[in-house]
Amino acid sequence: MMRDFFNNLRRLDIESIYNTFVGLPPQQQTIALVGTIVAVLLLTILPISLAGSQLGALETDVTHAQKRIDDAVVEITKYNEAKNRMTQIEQQFARQSGESLLAVIPRLATAAGVTSETPTEGLPESFDVYEVEKVSFTVPSAPLDQVVKFIYQLESNPQRIIRINKLKITPSYQSRTQLKAEFREVSAYKLVGQAK
């Protein structure tokens, strides 16, 4: 296409065009000159401006596409984090022992050096995927460090998923250096159908 343009340009007789231009009256020379300048400007500026507007539209499209890609990457990262967390929870449930919460609490209390009253079993709850075993009990008198150790052992127990939902700690009537801890609701979770 460009080759045809240059071949046609060579065929033009520049000298005859110049002679024709010079032979025109001054007013027509001015009009021809202005027309030629306008035509040259249109032939150079119009394609450049069209290309510039198309580039601007392409840049906008690229920016929108990059934002969608960034959003997708964020969502994929969130999904992978949730999937990893779910895998950890499933593994934690799989490692659980079938030991009852009524048996776990006295054992952990002894290991922490505190004495607990016999736990009272609450009404268990069952959901689609998991079941909740609930108990309540009191540690009538123990020093702060032993109470904290006992709470830590309950909530970080590797054999059962245990959470303290309601806890009230007050100074003991027997001694001001001792605390009374009322565990009003302690829950243990297990998957539905998991052996007891």
Over residues 133-178, the pLDDT tens digits come to 899 999 999 999 999 999 999 998 888 888 999 999 999 887 888 9
- Single residue among 79, 94, 109 that ends a domain in this structure: 94
- Identify the domain boundary among 37, 67, 94: 94
Domain count, the chain: 2
Handedness of CA 38, 44, 50, 56 (dihedral sign): negative
pLDDT at 125: 83
Which of 94, 129, 161 finishes a domain? 94
Coil, strand or helix: which one is 174? coil
Is 175 among the domain residues?
yes
Could you list the residue range(s) of the whole structural domain that residue 81 is in?
Answer: 1-94
Q: Is residue 196 in a domain?
A: no
How far, in Å, are 28, 50, 63 from residue 59 at the CA level?
A: 45, 14, 6
Query: For residue 1, what are its two tokens?
Result: 């296409």
Look at the pTM and tell me if it is higher than 0.75: no
